[in-house]
Amino acid sequence: MTHDLQDTPFLPFSQPSIDEATIAAVGDVLRSGWITSGPKVRAFEEQLSAYFGGRPVLTFNSGTCTMEIALRVAGIGPGDEVITTPISWPATANVILAVGATPVFADIDPVTRNIDLDLLEAAITPRTRALIPVHLSGLPVDMDRLYDIAKRHGLRVLEDAAQAFGSRWHGRRVGAFGDLVSFSFQANKNLTTGEGGCLVLNDAQEAALAAKYRLQGVTRSGVDGIDVDVLGGKYNMSDIMAAIGLGQFANIEAVTAHRRALARHYFAQFGDGFEAATGAQLPVADFENSNWHLFQIVLPDRGPGTRADFMEALARLRIGTGFHYAAIHLFSLYRERGFSEGMFPVAERVGRLTVTLPMFYAMTTADVERVAAAVKTVLAAPGTPR
Ligand SMILES: *Cc1c(COP(=O)(O)O)cnc(C)c1O
C-alpha cells in the first residue's frame, strides 16, 4: 500500500445527498409542534400522485411494509402462489411469506438480470394469483410483455419498483401505469426519506383499504365515529420523513440525469473490448429507461472467493463495492421450504459473482475514471479473478 493511496478518500458504493434546504425544512417540522403524519405527508403524497399521472399514492415507513400491504390490498393470502425473482433483496420474497402465501421463483435473464418472462409464464399454475417483478438496479422488466402475461392469465401485478424511482418504460414513468407499484425510500435509494416507501394504487377504494392497513385497521365508519374491521399495523410515514422526501423529490430529475451521465462515462471508460478482455459482464447500456440506481458488473468465475477477493482488492484501492444480491432461494428460510442449489442456475451464478460499483449523485466523472481504472487493474492482476 503506497502512502498516497492512504490519503485518498474512500469512495463508498452509495451515499445519500441531502441539500441544505431539505435540512432546514426538517428543522422547521421539528420546531412546528407536529412531527408525525400531517401536512408534510399529505403534501408529499399529493406531489407523488401528480408525478404518477394522478393515480392514488400512499406513503409508508418502509418499502417492505409497502409491499406487504399491497399484497393484502390485492387479497393475496394462504393457498395463493406468487411468482417472483430469486435475485432481489430478501424483502421481495419475505412479504409473500408474511401474508401466508407461497413464493414461487422463476430464474433471471442473464443479460438484464431481471426475471425471465418466459420462465415466469411457464411457472404459472391454477393457484398463481400474483406476480412480483423487480426492476433491478432501476432497469424495468419488459412491461408490455409482463402486463400481457398478467392479463391473459388474470393475475395481479405488484411491481417491486424499490430501485426504480425516476425510471421510465419508453417514455412513460414507472408507476404512472400498470397495477400496484411499490417504491422504497431507504437511505441508498435514488430518492430517500431515511427509511420509507410509497405505493401507487388503482383507485380510491384500494387506497382506502391500504390506508386502513397502514394504521391499525382504523376506519371512520363505526358507531362512535371509529371502528376497526381489518388487522392493520403501524406503518405510517412521519412529517419529518416527508420533509426529507419533498426536498429529494424537488431534485429527482437532476439526480436521474446525473446518474445516467455517470453510467455513460463508465461505459466510455471500460471501452468496447472490456468484456472480451476480462470475461466480466457489464450491465445493459440503457440510457432511456433505467434510472441507474446501481451500476453492477458480473465477474468472470474464478472459483470460490472470486467476489470476496475482488471486493477486497478494490477496498485496498479505497473503493467501496457491494453485492446486490445473493440468490434468495438458497437462504435457510427458503431451503426449509424445499428450494435448493441447481434450481435457478443463472440466479445462483449471478448471486455469487455480481458486484455493485460506486454510483451516487455526489460522484464525479473523475471518480468514475478512478473506479474503472481500478477495476481493470484488479481484473488484469494474477491471483484475482483474471
Ligand atoms: C430496498 C428494497 C426493498 C425494501 O425496501 P425497504 O425500504 O428497505 O424496506 C425491496 N426490494 C428491493 C428490490 C429493494 O432494493
| pTM, two decimal places | 0.96
> What confidence score (pLDDT) does residue 5 get?
73
Average pLDDT, integer, range 57-76: 98
**73 contacts 210 by C-beta, under 8 angstroms:** yes
Average pLDDT, integer, range 207-225: 90
Average pLDDT, integer, range 172-193: 98
Where do you find CATH 3.40.640.10 in the chain? 20-249
Out of 189, 212, 234, 376, pick the active-site residue: 189
Q: Checking phi first, is residue 338 left (phi over 0); if not, alpha (psi -120 to 50) or beta?
A: left
**49 contacts 41 by C-beta, under 8 angstroms:** no
Virtual torsion, Cα 142, 144, 145, 147, nearest 10 deg: 110
Task: For CA atoms 136, 275, 355, 344, give the dihedral sign.
Answer: positive
> What confidence score (pLDDT) does residue 192 get?
98
Secondary-structure percent of the chain, ordered helix, strand, coil, rounded to 5? 40, 15, 45
Reported as a pLDDT band with limits 50, 70 and 90, residue 256 is: very high
Nearest to 207 by CA among 321, 46, 88: 46
> What confidence score (pLDDT) does residue 223 get?
73
> What does the DSSP assignment read for 45-76?
HHHHHHHTTT--EEEES-HHHHHHHHHHHTT-
Query: How many angstroms separate the CA atoms of 253 and 240, rounded?
Result: 23
The rounded Å distance from CA 162 to ligand 1 centre is 5
**280 contacts 350 by C-beta, under 8 angstroms:** no
The rounded Å distance from CA 222 to ligand 1 centre is 35
> What confidence score (pLDDT) does residue 121 get?
98
pLDDT, averaged across the chain: 96
- Residue 276 scores a pLDDT above 90: yes
Average pLDDT, integer, range 77-91: 98
Task: Quickly name the fold that domain 3-8+252-380 has.
Answer: Aspartate Aminotransferase, domain 1 (3.90.1150)
pLDDT, tens digit, for every residue of 334-348? 999 999 999 999 999
CB within 6 Å of ligand 1 — which residues?
Answer: 62-64, 88-89, 91-92, 134, 160, 162-163, 184, 186, 197
pLDDT, tens digit, for every residue of 295-331? 999 999 999 899 999 999 999 999 999 999 999 999 9
Q: Which residues pair with 199 in a beta bridge?
A: 58, 182
% residues pLDDT > 70 (the chain) = 97
**160 contacts 200 by C-beta, under 8 angstroms:** no
The rounded Å distance from CA 187 to ligand 1 centre is 10
**Pocket probe mutation, ligand 1, options 136, 163, 294, 356, max atoms within 8 Å of Cβ:** 163
Where do you find CATH 3.90.1150.10 in the chain? 3-8+252-380
Closest C-alpha residue for ligand 1 atom 7: 63
376 is catalytic: no
Domain 20-249: give its CATH code: 3.40.640.10
Ligand 1 atom at shortest distance from the alpha carbon of 196: 7
User: How distant, in Å, are the alpha carbons of 92, 336, 337, 339, 343 from that of 332?
Assistant: 16, 6, 9, 9, 15
Average pLDDT, integer, range 11-40: 97
